[in-house]
Structure formats: structure tokens, C-alpha cells
Amino acid sequence: MYILQESLFSFEELLKMQSKERLPIFFSSLDLRPYAKELRSRSPRGADGHCRQGILRALLAAPLEGIATLTALHHRLSTDLRFRYQCGLSLDREAPSISTLSRVFADVTKKELAKRLFEDLVAHLRLEGVLDGSHVAIDSTAIRAYERKQPKRKSEQTGNANWGVKLDSFGNKITWFGYKLHLAVDTKSELPLVLEVTPAHVNDGEKAPGLMEQAASRTAPRFFMLDAGYDQLKVYEAARNVKAQAIIPLNLRREKEPPAGMRSNGTPCCSMGYAMTYWGADGDILKFRCPHATGKVDCPLGMAACSSSNYGMVVKVDVREDLRRYCHPHRDTKRWKALYNERTSVERCNARLKCSLTADALHVRGIEKVTTHLYLNAIVLLASAVAASRLAKAVA
């Protein structure tokens, strides 16, 4: 079940607006001139080209308007003069051709302009206080490709679309041909911090350390929330390397027998076999008390069998002994569960990209162009947040 949580930016409200009202608000948050400069032709020959800033605007407006292909974008620019004008393209000449749009898209891909714009927007939102970044959720989602299907081994050699297998929330196996979109999302604003695209066969746990490192370079994460598919020691170590804690449920399907006197979730047991009571932490040291002393169980031997102290037996555990099993806050506590519930923010972000925008409507080939396509979709979310922040300040 998704846990409903109020979003800090009015992306849904923006979608409800009519196009003629929505686009000016959206474009007001974007200064594309520095990026458009790099798209200008350096050749002195040929007729004057179309405004590169206008084409870049059109490429960003396409996901917001549900336009999935360059052919459809050309048609919209040709038939909707208001849309063409709002994109900043001239009305006294024909709309940019499909080949012109394709060349600019290829140039954006080659120069990684979409990635740079994405990173600049993240930095801006961080300064504006819209992005917090202390709590980050990480997950991947399937992106289906309409490329020529190849055997898995041959696809692995090209680094492009491949076959992927994943379990959904209900444990059903999903198979697709295409890519994976790996996202690190700020749980407070539900906005993407880091984006990476891989062929569909790449394991989620392989990409998590890199996403954590990139997120830490842009914000100061304290907690990373991930599902049980990321339950690997290297993921916990990567979180600790950036001075954060990974909040991940144990994957019991591959769980080994816990150490003697220990529950699988890292809770020590008393001599009678009862789970001891978590009693807080001091840095990396977790403290557990006798469950009879804390009133959790009615032990037939009382406290005397384990300790002569009125306080009851105390066991201390250093989380560094086993980063995967031990966690601060301790597993299954209210605090741990509350943190893990924030993981659903990345699912909502994925849903916006795939259902409200065009992230899952691929009509480009090759991982580089697919990455650009997904960056353009993510930029729409960030730019919407910038626009909403400016409107809120203007009203205030």
C-alpha cells in the first residue's frame, strides 16, 4: 500500500491547468540561454537556423504535454501557433522539421546538456530550501524499449537494451526488454536528486553505492531508504562511507542462521530465550535490557537468574561488528519503521515520470539517447518545483 503524503510542489495542479496557462508558468522557471548557446551551429554556411533556445524549450515541453515522439512534436509545433509562440519559436516561418528536432536532440545528448541542466536545478532547489536531502529513497523502475530484441548475451555486449526480471510489490515476476531507471529521491519533496540509466539486466545493488555517493556530493544525507532487493553488505558499507545509515529490510530468502543468542533482526536474547528490549544507542553502541525488567515479558525466573542488579541484565552491541544485521535506529522499532515508510516517495516519483509524463514511452534508441529522454522528464519535475516556489514567494 502506498502511504499518502502531501507533496511540497504543485506538479499535479500544474497538470490540471490548460496548456496555454501551464507553459508560461513552467518556462518562467527556466533560463535556457547558457545551454542553448552550446547548441548554435558554428558553420558560416547555410540559411539561418531556428532558435536553439526555442527548440530546447519545445523538447522540455513535450513530456509535460504528453508528446512522446519528435514526429508528434513537429506536428504540434506546426498546427498549434500558441504552443510554438510559447516555446519561443518564430511564427513567420515553418516549424522546425523532424530532422532539425532530431539533430538538436542528438546534440543535447552528445554534450550532456540535459544532465547539466538537471544537476543545476538540483543545486538551485537545494539553495532555495525546497530540496532537503537528509532522507533519500532509492529504487529502480522498468523502462520498456521498442528496439529490436536480441539474445541476452549479445545485448550485454552492446550496453543497450536488454532483458530484465523483477518482482513487483505482490511478488509477481515481471519480465521486460529495455532499461532500468535508477533514482535517488529526496523523501521530503519527492524530487529526484540523482538519475542513472542502465540496461535492464543490471542488478540494483550494483548501482546503489554510486547513487549514494552522488547524492552525498549534492546534499548531506543521514538516511537512505531502500527495499529488500538492496540487502547487500556493500550497500550498507556505501551508506556508512558517506556518514549515513541504510534503512533496508532483511531479505529473509537468503538469510543465514543468525549468531547464537541473536534474533535475525539483530536483537539479542536473554538466557531464557526472550528477545531483549532495545533501550537506545550511544553512537555506534546499541543497548538492550532484560525484557522482564522492562515489563515486556513475565519471566518465571525473574531478573535474578541473569543479573544481581535491580536494573536487570544489559547487553551492548557495536553496529560495526555487522553493518547489515545491526542498525541505528534498531530494526523494527517505531523510528526504523517510520523511516522505511518514507521509501514510498521514490515510487510516487517513478509514477509521475511514467504515468503523468513520457518516461515510459521510449521512441529513441541507444542508452545515451534514452538517458537524455529520461533526464528531460526529470527536469520537468524539478522545473515545476522551481516555478511553484517562485509563485509561493510572489504570493507571500
pLDDT at 254 (0 to 100): 67
Which has the higher per-residue pLDDT, 121 or 41? 121
277: confidence class by pLDDT, cuts 50, 70, 90: very high
pLDDT at 152 (0 to 100): 61
pLDDT at 300 (0 to 100): 85
Buried b (16+ CB within 10 A) or exposed e, 348-385: bbbebbbebbbbbbbebeebbbbbbbbbbbbbbbbbbb
pLDDT at 227 (0 to 100): 94
151: confidence class by pLDDT, cuts 50, 70, 90: low
129 exposed, middle or buried (CB, 10 Å; 0-12, 13-18, 19+)?
exposed
pLDDT at 266 over 60: yes
By mean pLDDT, which of 41-50, 132-141, 291-300, 371-380 is the weakest? 41-50
How large is the average pLDDT for residues 327-342?
A: 93
How large is the average pLDDT for residues 353-371?
A: 93
pLDDT at 46 (0 to 100): 40
pLDDT at 20 over 90: no
pLDDT at 255 over 80: no
As a whole number of angstroms, the distance between CA 212 and CA 208 comes to 6
Residues 192-202 have pLDDT tens digits of 999 999 999 99
Domains in the chain: boundaries: 11-114, 131-251+342-374, 258-326
Residues 180-222 have pLDDT tens digits of 999 999 999 999 999 999 999 999 999 999 999 999 999 999 9
pLDDT at 17 over 80: no
The percentage of the chain sitting over the pLDDT mark of 70, rounded to a whole number, equals 91
Cell, residue 339? 523511516
Let me know: does 197 contact 110? Beta carbons within 8 Å: no
pLDDT at 41 (0 to 100): 63
Average pLDDT along the chain = 88
Best CATH choice for the domain 131-251+342-374 from the list 3.20.20.60, 3.30.420.10, 2.60.40.1120, 3.40.50.620: 3.30.420.10
Q: Is the pTM of the predicted complex or chain greater than 0.85? A: yes
Residues 106-148 have pLDDT tens digits of 999 999 999 999 999 999 999 999 999 999 999 999 999 987 7
pLDDT at 307 (0 to 100): 80
How large is the average pLDDT for residues 12-38?
A: 85
